[in-house]
Amino acid sequence: MKEHHCLHLVQQQMYCEDVALAKIAEQCGTPTYIYSKAAIEKNWCDLSTAFKHQRYQIHYAVKACSNIAILYMLARLGSGFDVVSGGELERVRRSGGDISKTVFSGVGKQQWEIEAALRGGIGCINIESESELLLIEKVASYLNIVAAVAIRVNPDIDAQTHPYIATGLHHNKFGVDAQQAIELYQKIRRSPFLQEHGIACHIGSQIMSPEPYAKALQQLVAIADQLCKDGLQITHIDIGGGFGIRYQDETPPTISDYATVVNDIIADCPYRLILEPGRFIVGNAGVLLTQVIHLKQTYQKYFAVVDAAMNDLLRPSLYEAWHDIVAVKAHKGECRDYDIVGPVCESADVLGYQRRLALYPGDLLAILSAGAYGFSMSGNYNTRTKPAEVLVDGDNFHIIRCRESSLDMIEMECIPWENNDLCKE
Ligand code: LLP
């Protein structure tokens, strides 16, 4: 068992905190996402402790895992939030999160989303283009509100991560370059409806070294210093999220390794630090529980067809990401190298290649490190219902999202030419 994860073995049975995974499968069915409350809280508190010498605020990136029970827990710890849509903003509001401790990121904010954010008293909107600046100004002016804003700078730094999740290079769609940022701050200064609060960046996700942060932060501090000299009021620097976690056998820096580097640079500066971690808080605090439906042997391979699929956990198919897969109850069957595949009609629907396991149909498997970008990226392809979500708390567990039913998916559709009763039968 990988010790970084939230599961442990008790008499050959896998537990999350004090609850046997088999018990959750029995009561809630599979596939089911399971999160450990203690692990989420520990990760948040570890992060908080690492940065405590600094004036800082943690804004949990809601996109990593956006269930309102989890947002509620984090809000109670004092967390702020990073949102990227009106939907995520609504989740923060409904979970009692503090909108004034929420930042709004993303390249495509729409008018209704900006309006909702400003009406709700958003802490800061991170602007990613001139066009967006003008739209925010327009909305703020008809609401007669002064919008708190920051410019997201694209520092052109290689975060050495998967190309799909690198965001800080000039060819990426995110942010604006340093020169354009300075020009946009002049526009902000001249607008009665915009007030600069900070400067922001986010260079990527699953970053495995503190160096890219050091480079980005140095750039941001230099720009902020220049802006302050010019009379602007930059009070915070937002360095985004991206702290890497262990999925397989990587050795990511510890959170204090990141913090040391960041603190060294920012310690003597007058700026408050903002962090937007997602994966670090929830990634290794969650697993996806699934059951083997069939075992199948072809000329070349053994397949275990399980009831979870790429629509439930997209990361292996989209990024060729590795997730450990372990048996929930060990038994003495013969070990084989299985491709663990889902029922979806795509050859890319593989959750793990060549996993050495002893399996029978009906066995339960846990797919590890699935807390971040697991459920939140799930979909309904092949008209598959989204999994249930369960939060374990000591020897208790709570269903924090019911399993969808087939009806839930079909309900919103209608056949315009027929008597509508047909759809209701
Ligand atoms: N802030 C901003 C502006 C972001 O775009 C993101 C992630 C974060 C913070 C949080 O990053 P984290 O701390 O979680 O690395 N679906 C991909 C990851 C995409 C990340 C997108 N942005 C995956 O499954 O690996």
Tell me the pLDDT tens digit for each residue of 336-360.
999 999 999 999 999 999 999 999 9
Q: What is the mean pLDDT of residues 112-134?
A: 98
| Tokens found for residue 320 | 């060729």
Tell me the pLDDT tens digit for each residue of 314-332.
999 999 999 999 999 988 8
The CA-based angle 384-385-389, given to 5 degrees, is 135
Q: Could you say which DSSP state residue 63 is in?
A: G
> What is the Cα–Cα distance from 78 to 87, expressed in whole angstroms?
21
The ligand 1 atom nearest the CA atom of 377: 16
Return the bridge partners of 53, or none.
Answer: none
Tell me the pLDDT tens digit for each residue of 45-64.
999 999 988 899 999 999 99
Tell me the pLDDT tens digit for each residue of 236-252.
999 999 999 999 999 99
- Percent of the chain whose pLDDT exceeds 70: 97
Q: Could you say which DSSP state residue 388 is in?
A: E
pLDDT at 2 over 80: no
Using 50, 70 and 90 to split pLDDT, how confident is the model at 422?
Answer: low
Nearest CA to ligand 1 atom 24: 373
- The b-or-e profile of 276-305 (16+ CB within 10 A means b, else e) is bbbbbbbbbbbbbbbbbeeeeeeeeebebb
State the pLDDT at residue 105.
Answer: 97
> What is the Cα–Cα distance from 115 to 140, expressed in whole angstroms?
8
State the pLDDT at residue 168.
Answer: 74
> What is the Cα–Cα distance from 87 to 364, expressed in whole angstroms?
34
Candidates 201, 269, 345, 402; catalytic one: 345
Amino acid at 157: I
Q: Which of 11, 6, 10, 58 is nearest to 33 (CA)?
A: 6
Distance 282 CA to ligand 1 centre (A): 12
Ligand 1 mutation target, pool 58, 152, 162, 205, most atoms within 8 A of CB: 205
- Percent of the chain whose pLDDT exceeds 90: 88
State the pLDDT at residue 160.
Answer: 79
Nearest CA to ligand 1 atom 23: 373
State the pLDDT at residue 377.
Answer: 98
pLDDT at 410 over 80: yes
Return the bridge partners of 23, or none.
Answer: none
pLDDT at 425 over 70: no
* Mean of all residue pLDDT scores within the chain: 95
State the pLDDT at residue 3.
Answer: 65
